[in-house]
Each structure stands twice: as structure tokens, then as C-alpha cells.
Copies of this chain bind each other. A is one copy, B any other.
Amino acid sequence: MRTDIAILGFGVVGAGTAQVLEMNKKQIEARTGTEIYVKHILDLRDFPDSPFADRVTHNADDVFGDKDVKIAVETIGGAKVAYEYTKRALSAGITVVTSNKELVSTHGVELLKLAKDNGCQYLFEAAVGGGIPIIRPLYRCLAANKVVRIAGIVNGTTNYILTQMKVCGISFEEALAQAQQNGFAEANPAADIDGIDAQRKLSILSTIALDGTYVNPGTINAQGISNITTDDIEFASKIGCEIKLIALFENKEGSKPVAYVAPTYVSRESLIASVEGVFNAIMVEGNALGESLYYGQGAGAIPTASAVCGDILEASSGEKMPDSRLWEDKGEAIAPYGEVKVSIVVRAPEIPVTAFSEYETEHLNGAVIVHGIAHDDIDRFVSGIPGAKWMHYLK
């Protein structure tokens, strides 16, 4: 048996997908009972040196007009051409597998509906955490849990920068330049360093955790890492923490769900603090399972392709999408950022003993950890303390 697929966009992940399918051809055939055959590659470019050169087409009709194509891999990125092609594929009953977090987080509601209506699937394991299995564990393994918390390092670029700042004692600008030189950051790094990429991934994770109640990325407050100084990094060490860009989701009994992205002092007692370089790690707390952690390479051609291929293999069985995977936009799904109560670390040359007396506090090597303070109240308290800085805290 043969399952014909098409790859839309033959860039890093698209080409990696073809490579993994080729590299592990035998295993994949034995496991699925079918040969996964890359029949078309749709790209504006030609790839004369690729072993797949003969499959490349510039004409979308070659792909969408081919009744044999059962699965399309969308690795174009962005939410324009990718959006149009995804709609076209799903409308034709072709299952779409993607690593495109921007598209999933922006148009997931519509695209999942379209897949359902056309008897196919829209799968995106690779959109969060690169190669790390996280979407499928959430849907399947934790199916009997209420997800009460997700805390993740979901962006490899920023984690690489923060790790280099610490290990080499260099500034944010120097670490960014290094990341760009090494191919871990793009020429325009804004989406990564400003937390936009993490915001999109958190939108996807939060929506799944809320059983399909769509969390629009635009409603998620995202703060990046460009203001982090070497001084902050050194201070973190002093209080037994590491600074990480954390994507946080919480769904406590009796209060509205919470989701935001922020640089955070993470206590070294947490495994997440030890995650270095371009690696990602996502902590998921279920009300039955308790804490669990998923760790691995959050980016890169072959690891991300591993996740794409996992979806392709699942889709090749022809399984239908269950109704429960649909997303629904019910408006504001999370609490307004200002009202969210959090734990923060405040540091200053001198902090008056009474400064946070109305909160639960811990004192730690020249800093105060303040628990249960609303974002809206932080500035009022901190601005009164000369030279004070604050950041989120995660134990």
C-alpha cells in the first residue's frame, strides 16, 4: 500500500520531513503497513540538487487537483499563503499536517472546523515544542485529567540567548548576535525575543487545556527578554534561580484561566531551571497525574520533522477527527492580565520592611518574593522603592 503526500514549502522543516521519511523508510513501512510517498513538493524555488528535485512543482493545481494526495504537509509558515493553501487542502478532504504555530494560533478555530466538515484532519504536533511530543500527550495521555497548569520554555532562541548570557557573562545584544551567527536566531529576531512565538504556542496549549475554548494569542500578555541585563542574570544566581522566558497557563478552581509569557526567575529546585541552550521543556500539571515534564529539541529541521512525521503516520491510518478536537471562540477566555495575581521577586538596594506587609512574602538574599500580588498593583508598590526592579517568580 502507498499513501501519497505533498509537501507545501520545501524550507528547513519541509525538507527535513522528506529526509526523515527517507531515512526511516523501512521502520515506517513496518509500523504503518503503508509506504509514505512524497508525490509533490510545492515551492516557488527549484531544488536541482535535492534527491526530490523531480517532485517539485510551482503549480498548486498539481497538488490540489491530484485525487491521490491524502496528506499535505504545510511547512510554509506565516498566515497568508499557508492559510490559503491549508483551506484549499482541507476543503478538498486532504488532511493537513503542520508546524506553523502562527497559522494554528490565528485561524485554528476555522481550520479545525473545515477539517471536520470535510472528513479529514488538521494536525499540528510540530507547532509547539518542535520535536517534543506535547500536543498528543495532552489530547490522549492526559485525557482523563483537568490540566491545572502549564509552565514551559517553548522558544529555543530566547533560551539560547539567556543561557549564553549566563555561561559567557555577555550582554543580551552580544548573545543575540552570537545566536544569529549560529543560526539559532533569525535576521529579524523580533517574533522570538519579544515573546510573540511563545505567545502563539501558549495560545495553542491553553486552548487544548481548556478543551477547545479558544485563547486568542492577542489576549495573551507577552513580554520579551530584550531588557534582561547581565546584572539580572548574576542576581538570579545569587537567589538560587535561573532566568527563563516562561509561557504560563493556570486554571485554578474558582477563578478564570490565566495565560501570559514573561521572563521569570525559576527556582533551581525546578527541573525547568536546568534546561539550557536551544532545548525546550514543558511542565504540565494534571489534577490526577500531578506534575509531568516533556523535554527535547524545540527546533531544528530533523527534530521538528520527527513530530511532523508522527502526525503523517497517524493520519495515514485514515482515522477521523473526534468532535472534541474542535475549537470554539467564546470571546475573552482568560482573565485580564492586570487582575492576575502572581508571585514576583523584587530587588532593590534597600527594601523597607513594611513595603509588602499586606502580602505573603519570603526574604531571600537581598530580595523579597511577594506572593499573590495583582499585576495592576505591582507598579504602585515597586515605584515607591528607589532602584527597585521586579520579575515573575516560579518555584
Contact = CB atoms under 8 A, between A and B. Distances in A.
Contact of A27 (B132, B146, B302, B319): B146
A131 B290 contact: yes
B310 A140 contact: yes
Contact of A143 (B131, B286, B313): B313
A184 interface: no
Contact of A271 (B21, B132, B274, B319): B274
B322 A33 contact: yes
A324 B32 CA distance: 7
A314 interface: yes
Contacts of A324: 30-33
A141 B313 CA distance: 9
B296 A293 contact: yes
Given A23-B287, A274-B271, A322-B317, A293 B294 contact: yes
A133 interface: yes
Contacts of A303: 288-290
A74 interface: no
A295 interface: yes
Contacts of A296: 289-293
Contact of A137 (B31, B133, B309, B323): B133
Nearest to A285: B296
Nearest to A28: B144
Given A31-B211, A322-B33, A288 B271 contact: no
Contacts of A371: none
A307 interface: yes
A193 B49 CA distance: 56
A305 interface: yes
Interface of A: 20-21, 23-24, 27-28, 30-33, 125, 131-133, 136-137, 140-146, 211, 271, 274-275, 281, 286-297, 300, 302-303, 305-307, 309-310, 312-314, 317, 319, 322-324
Given A32-B324, A132-B292, A143-B310, 5 more contacts: A24-B146, A286-B306, A288-B305, A290-B300, A294-B295
10 contacts: A24-B287, A31-B143, A133-B133, A144-B310, A271-B271, A289-B296, A289-B302, A289-B306, A292-B296, A293-B294
